[in-house]
Amino acid sequence: MIGGLFIYNHKGEVLISRVYRDDIGRNAVDAFRVNVIHARQQVRSPVTNIARTSFFHVKRSNIWLAAVTKQNVNAAMVFEFLYKMCDVMASYFGKISEENIKNNFVLIYELLDEILDFGYPQNSETGSLKTFITQQGIKGQHQTKEEQSQITSQVTGQIGWRREGIKYRRNELFLDVLESVNLLMSPQGQVLSAHVSGRVVMKSYLSGMPECKFGMNDKIIIDKAGKGGVTNEAGKSDLGGGGSTSGKQSIAIDDCTFNQCVRLSKFDSERSISFIPPDGEYELMRYRTTKDIILPFRVIPLVREVGRTKLEVKVVIKSNFKPSLLAQKIEVRIPTPLNTSGVQVICMKGKAKYKASENAIVWKIKRMAGMKESQISAEIELLPTNDKKKWARPPISMNFEVPFAPSGLKVRYLKVFESKLNYSDHDVIKWVRYIGRSGIYETRC
Amino acid sequence: MTDSKYFTTTKKGEIFELKAELNSDKKEKKKEAVKKVIASMTVGKDVSALFPDVVNCMQTDNLELKKLVYLYLMNYAKSQPDMAIMAVNTFVKDCEDPNPLIRALAVRTMGCIRVDKITEYLCEPLRKCLKDEDPYVRKTAAVCVAKLHDINAQLVEDQGFLDTLKDLISDSNPMVVANAVAALSEIAESHPNSNLLDLNPQSINKLLTALNECTEWGQIFILDCLANYTPRDDRESQSICERVTPRLSHANSAVVLSAVKVLMKFMEMLPKDLDYYGTLLKKLAPPLVTLLSAEPELQYVALRNINLIVQKRPEILKHEMKVFFVKYNDPIYVKLEKLDIMIRLASQANIAQVLAELKEYATEVDVDFVRKAVRAIGRCAIKVEQSAERCVSTLLDLIQTKVNYVVQEAIVVIKDIFRKYPNKYESVIATLCENLDSLDEPEARAAMIWIVGEYAERIDNADELLESFLEGFHDESTQVQLQLLTAIVKLFLKKPTETQELVQQVLSLATQDSDNPDLRDRGYIYWRLLSTDPVAAKEVVLAEKPLISEETDLIEPTLLEELICHIGTLASVYHKPPSAFVEGSRGVMHKRLPARTGSGEGTECPDVGNAAGGSAPEAAPSIIPSQGDLLGDLLNLDLAPPTTTGPTPSTSGMQMGGMDLLGGGLDSLMDESEPPHVPLQTDPPQSPSPQPPSPVYTHTDYTYTDYSHTDSPPDHSSTEHSPPAELGGDIGGSPAMGAGFGAAPTVMPASLNAPVGGGLGDLFDLGGGVGMPMGAYIPPKTVWLPAMKAKGLEISGTFARRAGVIQMELVLTNKAMSVMTDFAIQFNRNSFGLAPAGPLQVLTPLGPNQTIEVSLPLSTVGPVMKMDPLNNLQVAVKNNIDVFYFSCQYPISMLFVEDGKMERQVFLATWKDIPNDNESQFQIQDCHLNSEAASNKLQGSNIFTIAKRTVEGQDMLYMSIKLSNGIWVLAELKVQAGNPNYTISLKCRAPEVSQCVFQCYEAVLKN
């Protein structure tokens, strides 16, 4: 298991050092600094073995987090733990920076004591941690016995992510379907790979211990319901987020993963998503689709080399969605060679600028409706070089935001049941929103 | 509040000041002081001098202060053991505190203080905490047992904590269960023989229940523990798999990977024809792909694991090539891993796409990545024959870019392509030669020199080219020097007239001016060889090279099996067994996959691999048992002949014949109880001496040079792990063979061997001749195992039934350069229980270019498993080099027994009795026999005509067949005079066989 955990600043100075196992000595701290942080080469692996000691590291801005071990630990777990550790710290004091870490070092030690015991990760849900570890020192000494045992039962209990006795005057929930659409397209317009990775983020402000059931236009469920000849009564309580409720438009989900609150065995057997939600904001599920993706934009590049000192670039972008919808924050990034000496740009819409420091022409358009087309053309002057190596021509990348889900996912219902308290599904105010963003959206040129 | 100020105290006399503050009366001041101490400790300053003062602050009701003091204690107690005792009282008192958080804190901290005297005091509080009413305290106490065990294992055993810990596995709280499992697993690891984690169906059931309820981390502990369990049979295996699969949808990648580990391991036990097996395979792909959208560090871990999974079960991800395409912004470690997997998944179906991608990558910035991409193109050429031409032209395009490292890398891989497809792409040599001057890396230079030497006769100025390298001979690396020496000798043997001077020059450079022993020895060998017998020299140096294998960097199968058991862990990231990077006893225990067993059958069949895997996992595997395990896994076989129960000395003696003593490492390792084998392994000829080249020595050298020739893309990990059998076998075997070998390598062994093989064949022929008047149909021999796939061993053969005995007639041809010995054969379970009735009789070693015919009598009493197609037979053949697998189809007619003639009445009754659904009809076309001749011919193959009826010029023949397993097949054959097309109806209670029987009819009638 994890033998020790160190946090360094960008210079390699130790900010936090917590050793859990006897086989990790003080020299391990220095070994990582010398061999990884101060190494001249770019990092070649997130796992480094130095003198039979293994170091796992992740970097957040300029802070290094390193977990150390001498055993054959579960590597995936160590990284998951490091990410979780970052999340926990961020939820306590915001951005992970040298200053914040120094300001909260006592708190961090307390957290490390609680979430990692003898190198075994323990409860790391911020919801329950915050009930007894706070920035104002530890609660606990003034609590009643009931409160104390409530804390411990929550920390160790089956529903560690939610505490009892939450009350809201207005029961409300917000669902965000956030998708990032990824594309790699050949210069000829052939889709080399495309996938959507989506997240359903929920903000719940619900009283008591509500039981929730979430439904979407997942092909498997819809087909199942269709076969059975039973109209899904849940279909009636549509949230009105995305139009038609009939199971016509269903999507094939390649794979999905769920927050730990979701009952996985139930999903496996019935494919129904039921859970008791954590309070506040959390990620309910992640999913991935590869079939029938709506690619919001198509990029058509044309690069022509005119002699050795000039390039002509023409890029057309086409929006490919309903004309009534508006895409925002559109940015096209056209890479230029390192020996570029000057660039002239003409674009029909938006603003374009050559940014020498980034070796790219950046073309920004604030808004663009569906089924439209726009064009940019540029002349790039090159300095003559005797570098034999040809320019690698990095792909043209794009950023944008659209108000629909490129995967076609629709929320069909989210039902809330709380038997003990006096509110029903109809009393809950529900909101749903779809945002599609560009992930890695590249077209080779 | 800002704590950062504590980091900035660097004044002199700081310790003194702190001391004063620690002893202050004001609580706030005390707390501030302790914080300063902790900050100094973090930065690495020695503040141990403050020990008594800090410990004095421990008696406080301020929890925050208490925690800080504990932190200090954990760090310094070991350096001040005597003073640490001062803290004991507070700990003991805190363990009784009404607040469960404080009780847990005390027991947690106490376990971290590694001072013997303290541990004694820890026992009583720990015992209480293990039975505490609060689950939070119990879960903390469970981990504390592991801590205590780490300090003093004996104490934990004496105090009976292990039993209490075992009881916690049945605790009502899932987190307590998870921590108890984690603690027990860790303790069990350092006691490989103890039965600590007594996993049985009941306890497994408890774990699976807890799995649904505990935290993500707890799920990982439980899954990792489950992976160590070996289910009793395939049913249990399936039910566990069913309960583990939901975890594949967990958001935590580690949970997913641990679940994959359990599934990959338990799948091994499921019969492949089970529907569930296919379902499971399909379920594994999506979560693995999802892991690739995780953060880059996790992607890296996932990719390293996928690399293993793809080698073990390529079918899982074969359609997912696209997700491994490299993204421009991927970190370099992700890029390199993706590239590796792309090559593994490359197949004829996707090769065009892969090549287009690889070409794209070859223009990127990162040098390592570009090199690997170029190398990958070469590997595609070797792997997918159809793509070779396209790969070569892509490589040529890349060479035209003139980017130095791209050119060098391309030349290295082109050399391998030449090795794989000799005499096909030599037209590109001219282009390669143009780039001679730009090569500055030893590997590329050596590759180029190899090409020039190998194709010297086609390169007009080969002598000039090689001479140009010779100028700076002493500045070259050894690799280049050796290659240059060999290449010039080759050149000389091909063009002796013009190159005498050159060869003398290089020989003298190598033998007189070099102090590298390898180079000098090789130089002497060539020299003597050339001066004593140039013909022999030609035989040796210009001999046909063994083909290189498709996959050069596969992980050795036994290691792969072990790594599959370690999915998700560091071992799977490093691709090394834990013993390679973990100190001490932990992780030394080798894990392996369970053998596939049918329900209930598993225990009956004598299976070495199974027995070793199931009942004695602690035995450290030597090379042979693990090989056996590999067999056991893939084909459910063991190494010994099937009639015996294990590799006893007598069987191996019989099997290997006289060669046993000389047969190298493999066999001597197999019977470790037999000491006489061991000293023979270190044969005297191994020690090189430049003195008179005896024939034996020549042979050794021969192997040696060949090694440098086979120098395909060096993958150190694979050479490291591959068993030394190849080398050992060659060298060990040389004294026996050597005498004949140096002089006339092809003639002698062949003549030695022929009488034996032929004699055997004759004997069987005789036997066959007596029994059958007509002679049963014997299909012509076909090649079952091409030499390319079996490191030079070619196997062709057929099946026959002679005098009621089923024979497998094999022709073994050695197309490799080294002698093959120690043949053994095994079948996988098959539809009719075919199994060898005796060992494979290859008594003499098989020399290069030598062929031997062997007949293997078969029995039908082996284990049965339905195959698809029904008459498919999977065979494993072992020799001193490796184990090879192939499958072949046997004509079902050899299973038709002699007493297959049915009584007429019985026939009629049976025909009616079999439902019409079981009847199948076939057409036999273009058969020009009349019914009489057909009937006679069929009788030769034990297809008996019972009755004949003529209706409207159409002969109806009624026939019966009995299979060796007692199944009857009834047939009705319609023969119309003048019509070459017969119609046949088959009825059988097991309709699956009809298709095969029909094929036999067709084969028999048409031959």
- A265 touches B: beta carbon within 8 Å: yes
Residue A61's SS3 state is coil
Residue B737: band (very low, low, confident or very high) from pLDDT cuts 50, 70, 90 = very low
CB B261 within 8 A of CB B227: yes
- Find the closest chain A residue to B244 by CA distance: A265
More confident residue, A144 or B421: B421
Task: List chain B residues with CB under 8 Å of A122.
Answer: 139, 175, 179, 215, 217
What distance in Å separates the CA atoms of residue A322 and residue B788, rounded to the nearest whole number? 58
Least trusted range by pLDDT, from B204-208, B655-659, B873-877:
B655-659
What distance in Å separates the CA atoms of residue B878 and residue B873, rounded to the nearest whole number? 16
Helix (H) or strand (E) holding B934: helix B931-940
- Which of A129-143, B731-745, B897-911 has the highest mean predicted lDDT (pLDDT)? B897-911
- Which of A133-147, B41-55, B614-628 has the highest mean predicted lDDT (pLDDT)? B41-55
Residue A238 structure tokens: 């549509």
Out of B114, B137, B581, name the one closest to residue A49 (CB): B581
Amino acid (one-letter) located at A353: K
Residue B109 structure tokens: 């901290």
Chain-centre distance for alpha carbon A304 = 38
Q: What is the mean pLDDT of residues A333-338?
A: 91
What Å distances lie between residue A80 and A84, A124, B679, CA to CA?
Answer: 6, 11, 52
Q: What is the mean pLDDT of residues B515-529?
A: 90
Q: What is the mean pLDDT of chain B?
A: 77
CB B796 within 8 A of CB B783: yes
With a cut of 90, say whether residue A344 has pLDDT above it. yes
With a cut of 60, say whether residue B702 has pLDDT above it. no
CA angle B590, B596, B601 (to 5 degrees): 125
B42-70 tens-digit pLDDT: 877 888 888 888 888 887 777 888 888 88
Task: List chain B residues with CB under 8 Å of A152.
Answer: 100-101, 104, 134-137
CA distance B278 to chain A (A): 17
- Find the closest chain A residue to B137 by CA distance: A152
Phi, psi of B855 (to 5 degrees): -110, 135
Most A-contacting residue of B168, B252, B260 (CB-CB within 10 A), to test interface: B252
Any long-range contacts for B495-504 (C-beta under 8 Å, 24+ apart)?
Answer: B495/B456, B495/B457, B495/B462, B495/B463, B496/B534, B498/B463, B499/B463, B502/B463, B502/B466, B502/B467, B502/B470, B503/B530
- Find the closest chain A residue to B32 by CA distance: A106
Q: What is the mean pLDDT of residues B511-519?
A: 87
pLDDT score, position B192: 67
pLDDT score, position A56: 96
Q: What is the mean pLDDT of residues A7-32?
A: 90
Residue B12: band (very low, low, confident or very high) from pLDDT cuts 50, 70, 90 = low
Judge: B99–A71 Cβ closer than 8 Å, yes or no: no
Out of B42, B301, B403, name the one closest to residue A105 (CB): B42
- Find the closest chain A residue to B147 by CA distance: A118
Chain A, 283 to 302: residues with Cβ < 8 Å from chain B are 283, 285-286, 288
The number of beta carbons lying within 10 Å of the beta carbon of residue B49 is 13
With a cut of 60, say whether residue B784 has pLDDT above it. yes
Does the predicted model carry a pTM greater than 0.90?
A: no
Chain B, 563 to 622: residues with Cβ < 8 Å from chain A are 566, 568-574, 578, 581-583, 586-587
CA angle A24, A30, A33 (to 5 degrees): 120
- Find the closest chain B residue to A122 by CA distance: B217
Residue B302: band (very low, low, confident or very high) from pLDDT cuts 50, 70, 90 = very high
pLDDT score, position B716: 38
Task: List chain A residues with CB under 8 Å of B573.
Answer: 47, 75
CB B578 within 8 A of CB B584: no
Placement of tokens 């060096």 in the chain: B714
- B286 touches A: beta carbon within 8 Å: yes
Residue B782: band (very low, low, confident or very high) from pLDDT cuts 50, 70, 90 = confident
Beta carbon pairs, A and B, within 8 Å: 290
Residue in A44, A6, A9, A11 with CA at minimum distance from that of residue A28: A6
Through-space distance between the first and last CA atoms of chain B, rounded to whole angstroms: 97
With a cut of 80, say whether residue B364 has pLDDT above it. yes
Q: What is the mean pLDDT of residues B434-448?
A: 88
DSSP tag of A37: I
Judge: A102–B7 Cβ closer than 8 Å, yes or no: yes
Residue in B392, B394, B331, B330 with CA at minimum distance from that of residue B362: B394
DSSP tag of B832: T
Chain B, 201 to 260: residues with Cβ < 8 Å from chain A are 212-217, 220-221, 224, 243, 245-247, 249-254, 256-258
- A121 touches B: beta carbon within 8 Å: yes
B598-614 tens-digit pLDDT: 444 433 333 333 333 33
Residue in B552, B546, B550 with CA at minimum distance from that of residue B422: B546
Residue in B734, B747, B721 with CA at minimum distance from that of residue B663: B734
CA angle B362, B365, B367 (to 5 degrees): 75
What distance in Å separates the CA atoms of residue B509 and residue B516, rounded to the nearest whole number? 11
- Pairing of the two strands B872-878 and B824-827: antiparallel
Least trusted range by pLDDT, from A109-118, A371-380, B827-836:
B827-836
Residue in A444, A314, A445, A307 with CA at minimum distance from that of residue A382: A307
CA distance B319 to chain A (A): 13
Most B-contacting residue of A118, A178, A271 (CB-CB within 10 A), to test interface: A118
Out of B6, B251, B254, name the one closest to residue A258 (CB): B251
Judge: A83–B295 Cβ closer than 8 Å, yes or no: yes
Residue A268 structure tokens: 């496996």
What distance in Å separates the CA atoms of residue B101 and residue B120, rounded to the nearest whole number? 23
| Residues of each annotated binding site of A | 351, 353, 355, 364, 366
With a cut of 70, say whether residue B890 has pLDDT above it. yes
- Find the closest chain A residue to B182 by CA distance: A120
What is chain B's Cα-based Rg? 36
Judge: A109–B38 Cβ closer than 8 Å, yes or no: yes
What is chain A's Cα-based Rg? 26
With a cut of 70, say whether residue B756 has pLDDT above it. no
Judge: A288–B62 Cβ closer than 8 Å, yes or no: no
Helix (H) or strand (E) holding A172: strand A172-185
What distance in Å separates the CA atoms of residue B263 and residue B241, rounded to the nearest whole number? 6
Chain-centre distance for alpha carbon B972 = 50
Q: What is the mean pLDDT of residues B184-198?
A: 79
- Find the closest chain A residue to B255 by CA distance: A77
With a cut of 70, say whether residue B755 has pLDDT above it. no
Judge: A54–B581 Cβ closer than 8 Å, yes or no: yes
Q: What is the mean pLDDT of residues B494-507?
A: 87
Placement of tokens 């034999």 in the chain: A388
CA distance A85 to chain B (A): 13
- A123 touches B: beta carbon within 8 Å: yes
- Which of A327-331, B502-506, B779-783, B881-885 has the highest mean predicted lDDT (pLDDT)? A327-331
Judge: B569–A444 Cβ closer than 8 Å, yes or no: no
Q: What is the mean pLDDT of chain A?
A: 86
CA angle B535, B536, B538 (to 5 degrees): 65
More confident residue, A245 or A36: A36
Least trusted range by pLDDT, from B279-283, B423-427, B620-624, B671-675:
B620-624
Task: List chain B residues with CB under 8 Å of A29.
Answer: 44
More confident residue, B463 or B952: B463
The number of beta carbons lying within 10 Å of the beta carbon of residue B615 is 10
What distance in Å separates the CA atoms of residue B327 and residue B687, rounded to the nearest whole number? 52
SS (H, E, C) B975-998: EECCCCCEEEEEEECCHHHHHHHH
CA distance A421 to chain B (A): 25
Most A-contacting residue of B262, B284, B573 (CB-CB within 10 A), to test interface: B573
Residue B128: band (very low, low, confident or very high) from pLDDT cuts 50, 70, 90 = very high
